[in-house]
Copies of this chain bind each other. A is one copy, B any other.
Amino acid sequence: MLKISELAEQTGLSAHTLRYYEKHGLINASNRSAAGYRFYTDLDVRRVQFVKTARNTGFSLADIGQLLSIRVDKQSHSCQDVTDITQKKLLEVNAKLAELQSMQQTLELLLESCCGGPENATHCSIMEALDAGLSREDEN
């Protein structure tokens, strides 16, 4: 049985975050001391680790809530329920990735075009490109 600070140390999350997760229905302490202190079992720890892993994989807390409700009653859910959530997240990640890759390319082109030196910026090609709307090559 772990106290909240011990669980925090074991999982790498802060006690604040753990209480926050509890408030949002993701986790819970199986036991409380007479005075109200939270005490966590091994099962609780594993649930927190599940949350942390899902978080690192990009799932939102809302997604994780869904995944957890599948986790506690796997019989009543299908693999498709799980892949639906995962697919949706992958699409979001891919969309964000495309956006960032476009930014990356633009930034790299800008940096290639500019001397970056101590000359004054009167003819700076980055400023010119931003002024010209990047020459309309990549607009939204």
| Contact surface of A with B, Cβ cutoff 8 Å | 46, 49-50, 53-54, 56-58, 67, 70-71, 74-83, 86-87, 89-90, 93-94, 96-97, 100-101, 103-104, 106-108, 110-111, 114-122, 124, 126-127, 130-131, 133-134, 138-140
Chain B residues lying within 8 Å of A54, measured Cβ to Cβ, are 130
Given A70-B127, A131-B46, check contact A116 B56 (CB 8 Å).
no
Question: Which residue in chain B gives the minimum CB-CB distance to A129?
Answer: B53
Contact indicator B74/A124 (Cβ below 8 Å) = yes
The count of identical subunits is 2
12 other A-B residue contacts (CB within 8 Å) besides A70-B124, A75-B122? A54-B130, A58-B103, A67-B130, A71-B131, A74-B127, A78-B119, A79-B115, A79-B119, A82-B121, A83-B116, A86-B107, A86-B111
CA distance A78 to B104 in the complex (A): 23
B-side contacts of A115, CB under 8 Å: 79
Complex A-B: 11 CB contacts under 8 Å? A58-B107, A67-B127, A71-B131, A74-B121, A74-B122, A79-B115, A79-B120, A79-B124, A81-B121, A89-B107, A90-B107
